[in-house]
Amino acid sequence: MALIITEGTQPSKDGQGYPLTPGIHTDAHIAGWRKVTDAVHADGGRIVVQLMHAGVGCCPGGRYGRVEIHGGNGYLVHQSLSSNANKRTDQYGSSVAQRIRFAIEATSAVAAEIGADRTGLRISTGNPYNDITKTDTHDVHPALLDAIDPLGLAYLPRRAEP
């Protein structure tokens, strides 16, 4: 059985950071993805749509298979986890527990909507992107994985062995 993970796909018009990238926020998008997922499923495969919101990089549904939340490569979840990009001082910034909150809430919301068995989370451990860095990766990622592990997601990133 094959597993296909799509390229980053914006969940809303305001999440599109680049021209000509796929979306999943209109009826036409959903109908198009339905054709793709039906074909993959008919051939015995599985497909995950990788949700990607470009966050500050942006220019101003139906059940469609399994979903991967893109939490790396500089996108919104990655920004929220970063100690230098996330300058918030409210409940979503400052401490590790507060910086992982958005990722936990977004992942929990997707899992509640479509099922944890159809939800995954991609993170970029120690992967700087542009000027986004995480100086406390060894604290952030274990805390995030521990917090979302009870959700029983379809898959989580594996922890690197020390």
Q: Are 118 and 162 in contact (CB under 8 A)?
A: no
Which residues lie below 8 Å from residue 123, measured CB to CB, with a gap of 6+?
71, 72, 77, 78, 81, 103, 141, 144, 157
Nearest of 147, 143, 127 to residue 72 by alpha carbon:
127
**Residue holding tokens 């001082």?**
89
Count of Cβ atoms closer than 10 Å to residue 62 Cβ:
11
The length of the chain, given as a count of residues = 162
Respond yes or no: is residue 75 known to be catalytic.
Answer: yes
Nearest of 132, 128, 107 to residue 118 by alpha carbon:
107
Give the integer Cα–Cα distance in Å for 159 and 162.
9
Residue among 18, 64, 75, 129 flagged as catalytic: 75
Active site residues: 75
